[in-house]
Amino acid sequence: MRTRVGIRTALGLLVVAGGTISAAPDVRVTQPSIRTPTCTSKFELSRTPNPSMKGNSLDGVVAFGPSDIWAVGAAGELYAVGTYRAIAEHWDGTSWTLATLPVLSGVSSLRAAAGSASDDVWAVGSNGAAHATKPLAEHWDGLTWSMVGTPNVGSSALSGVAVVSPNDAWAVGSTTQSGQPLAERWDGTAWSVVTTPVLPDGGFLTGAAAVATNDIWAVGATNSSLLLVEHWDGSIWSVVPAPDPSGGVFSLATAVSADPGGDAWLVGSTYSAATGGDVTLAEHWDGTQWQVVSTPTKGQASLSAVFTLSATDAWAAGYETPPNGHSVTLAEHWDGLLWSTVSTPNPPGLADILLGITSDGFGTTWAVGFSGDASQDQTRTVAEDAC
């Protein structure tokens, strides 16, 4: 079996196919001027703050309209206490600005964001010692970000979040202590751990999506690199079968998204004998079962995020690595019949990665990530939009 592979570790180190991706060492690259997005058939770069000279990245994004978008991530020297910290940036329709977050001890990062309204936004990740983190949950009430306590389950981290209402939210991740997936629920007052199926070889959850209070999806992989899909029916979590195109070699679901009608997509990567590496993975829930759907990227690549608007409109983002080349940003669109690649820009560097994607509900799609040299923690934030 191949060892566990992720887009980023709980504290932000980017690893793909077991190795570290390198990118541009100079974080002081000139960025595009601040602008209002213009409608084009391809993505365009938007200027974003970089609060640190090292390790800047945006990992998750959520939108509540054309002038209200949040992106979260981390910035600073990886594992360096006092320097590597969670960040949140906000788009007001004209520019991205850095938001003030609670001051935390140790290292911290935010991996995902979701919300039910502009004054009910959750961001989750990890906080603590470099190799012994605890779950981190922060909440935006329309005025300020505040840290909300989570259960102490030992060394652990949260990687995905889904929100049904102000009194119903889910966060998922993993625990080092037990080696099992982690699911926590917000009831409007406090977060509590909810039991998930015990996996024989353990596993982790990387993303979550909410359709209704009794219809929640979570995805990830087992510790033996098999695809993992779990579902909450209002009473219990259960494992749902999903095809593994690799035949048991390696498959990872990094994200899942569902529209209000229950149409759902999961994306990630799976091993391909034809390429000798990982290729993009997309699977669709038709109301009865998960089915693999072909994607246009044929070389080594991975999808790290997905956003579903309807049965005929979904977006996915990630990266691809051309032969003998560096990683470049990747965006794909589903029109109800097939997935197609949409052009994305790539800032100067050795690797450009998209980690999050969303829609503002008015025709504009935003994708976020980073560009730079991850092996040296010299990366800068990236935000791109298309409409």
Query: pLDDT tens string for the chain (387 positions)?
Result: 333 333 333 333 322 222 222 222 222 222 333 344 455 568 999 999 999 988 999 999 999 999 999 999 999 976 565 678 999 999 999 999 999 999 998 889 999 999 999 999 999 999 988 678 899 999 999 999 999 999 989 899 999 999 999 999 999 999 988 899 999 999 999 999 999 999 999 999 999 999 999 999 999 999 999 999 999 999 999 999 999 999 989 999 999 999 999 999 999 999 998 888 899 999 999 999 999 999 998 789 999 999 999 999 999 999 999 876 789 999 999 999 999 999 999 887 778 999 999 999 999 999 999 998 766 668 999 999 998
The whole-number pLDDT of residue 28 equals: 24
Q: Give residue 148's Cα distance to chain centre.
A: 21
DSSP string, 101-154: ----SSEEEEEEEEEEETTEEEEEEEEEETTEEEEEEEEE-SS-EEE------S
Say if CB 218 and CB 210 are below 8 A apart. no
The whole-number pLDDT of residue 53 equals: 87
Q: Which are the contacts of 149, defined by CB distance < 8 A and separation ≥ 6? A: 137, 190, 191
- Looking at residue 375, what DSSP letter applies? G
- 195-to-47, 233, 352 alpha-carbon distances in Å: 42, 13, 37
Burial environment of residue 48 by CB neighbours within 10 A (0 to 12, 13 to 18, 19 or more):
buried
The whole-number pLDDT of residue 20 equals: 25
User: 3-state class of 232 per DSSP?
Assistant: strand
Both tokens of 54, joined, read 């090292």
The whole-number pLDDT of residue 325 equals: 78
Map tokens 């091993």 to a residue: 271
The whole-number pLDDT of residue 8 equals: 38
The whole-number pLDDT of residue 302 equals: 97
- Helices and strands in the chain, H and E counts: 0, 30
The whole-number pLDDT of residue 329 equals: 95
**β-pair type (339-342, 277-285):** unpaired
- Looking at residue 376, what DSSP letter applies? G
Class of CATH domain 15-20+40-328+341-386: mainly beta
**β-pair type (290-292, 277-285):** antiparallel
Predicted TM-score (pTM) of this structure: 0.89
Say if CB 134 and CB 35 are below 8 A apart. no
**β-pair type (300-310, 168-175):** unpaired
User: 3-state class of 374 per DSSP?
Assistant: helix
The whole-number pLDDT of residue 132 equals: 81
The whole-number pLDDT of residue 41 equals: 67
Beta bridge partners of 316: 306, 332
Q: Which are the contacts of 194, defined by CB distance < 8 A and separation ≥ 6? A: 183, 184, 185, 232, 237
The whole-number pLDDT of residue 323 equals: 78
